[in-house]
A and B are shown apart, each in its own frame.
Chain A
């Protein structure tokens, strides 16, 4: 069984156990360092789902998801599954170009195909000089996804919000809500 399918299956099983929590339209702190506020109710999966610090969805993880990386320190991988691979560790001196490359590799390791990672552009994130890049991929079932990652390295730690959704419906449908999350982001290390 493909690892990615297994991860999704586990997520579905967890969903059946009632561990999905609604996230109301209020300020929420992800992990230890990233605060966001939604414009609508999101569905939150348990910490660690898909290897991220938090995974939220509107219509189900296989169709759309927001992944949060909330303060990844130097020497840690973006996703837990890559812990044993030194070349996949985040480095605090990485540029946006290198973070986008790392993201592309993580997609490839997640059994994604036809991966395209766009060029990063400067973007202010949580009040800090950050970056934004788009990406797309296809699943083994042939479903095409578009995605968008926005983040910044603050005090040596990576903060990033990535939204992925099916090109046919979920990305365009939920991108405004995902953008609202990105615009609301605050890095708590500032406080």
Chain B
């Protein structure tokens, strides 16, 4: 009997919902509400974010992203602030108060402005649908369930009451998270279509993510995927939503997006390489090559992934990539240095010396010129 009462209580709590309606433009939550408290926390986080050394402060890139955000947000434009943060990996997020964060690794992965609009529209959906406040509220309900069951579960007939409650609480939170993601997807698609962007761009993001990750559901660099539905399920849901849209615009703005990203692209590629997750990074670079063709920076950093991994064929693959990089316009001089490092490790000192010399000729004022000269001087045995 007590066990039945316990289950009924759990189901009642699980059925509770904050049921918040969408937030109208230029509206703050009632100051007496729990949501206002979440906003205050978000405002504190945003204040810290403004001072963060990781913030990308390039005015041109920020202006560009803000313009796209306003185009997608429409009447919500004054309500959102977009912060670009330098960090590898695929991630974006939204605070309850309209502060949106986009990681540089995500910018690198997006093909065009339509894909950026898809991300902004989705995150905007979380804001308008008040998911952050709802999620925080539900986390509290989940804790309440556990607290109640810890008290009531003592001695009842359920074999593992606390474990059951934990499962219920977790499922409740997960289920709402999944529902919120779908709602944000639907909102985002409507907004990006209204702004004239091709909604299929949203599907492409998840297709690319699925290819990059392979069998790994989430990794250290892809936290967005750790909290979101599997990419394949996401893709199918989006396709259904797109089919239901009343208009199917086609704007992509590929050139404009890549031009905005161009000054930062090499640095963002280097950030990915530094994480030394070679399998995922090589998949990512393969996708970037398929999307944009091979340029000197991409060929060079692909070589760097192989050089740093150091598996059996990697030195050969790295050398091939550097050779490709050096045949392309605007090739980085560092490709010569990397050829020198590999050749030196292979004991081919003649080739290493020649590569290091070419590096110094290309970059006579390189900050590591003295070190490279020391490498040359140290190879005296050939």
Contact = CB atoms under 8 A, between A and B. Distances in A.
Interface stretch (B30-38, B192-200, B366-374): B366-374
Nearest to B48: A142
B120 to A, nearest CB: 23
Contacts of A98: 341
A86 B314 CA distance: 13
Interface stretch (A7-15, A56-64, A89-97, A176-184): A89-97
A120 B371 contact: yes
A4 to B, nearest CB: 13
Interface in B69-95: 86-87
Nearest to B305: A87
Interface in A92-130: 93, 95-98, 101, 104-105, 108-109, 113-115, 118-122, 129
Interface in B218-252: none
A120 B274 CA distance: 17
A191 interface: no
A57 to B, nearest CB: 22
A133 B327 CA distance: 31
A34 interface: no
A29 interface: no
A171 interface: no
Interface residues of A, number: 29
The 7 A-B pairs with the shortest beta carbon distances in the complex, nearest first, are A119-B368, A119-B367, A138-B53, A122-B374, A113-B54, A114-B54, A120-B371
Interface in B92-144: none
A121 B54 contact: no
Given A120-B368, A138-B54, A141-B48, 7 more contacts: A93-B345, A95-B341, A97-B341, A101-B308, A105-B308, A108-B275, A122-B374
B95 to A, nearest CB: 16
A148 B98 CA distance: 39
Given A119-B366, A121-B371, A113 B278 contact: no
Contact of A115 (B274, B345, B367): B274
8 contacts: A87-B276, A87-B278, A105-B274, A105-B275, A113-B87, A114-B86, A119-B368, A138-B54
B166 to A, nearest CB: 19
A87 B314 CA distance: 12
A144 B52 CA distance: 9
A77 to B, nearest CB: 12
Interface string A153-182: 000000000000000000000000000000
A185 interface: no
Contacts of B275: 105, 108-109
Contacts of B278: 87
A79 interface: no
A88 B367 contact: no
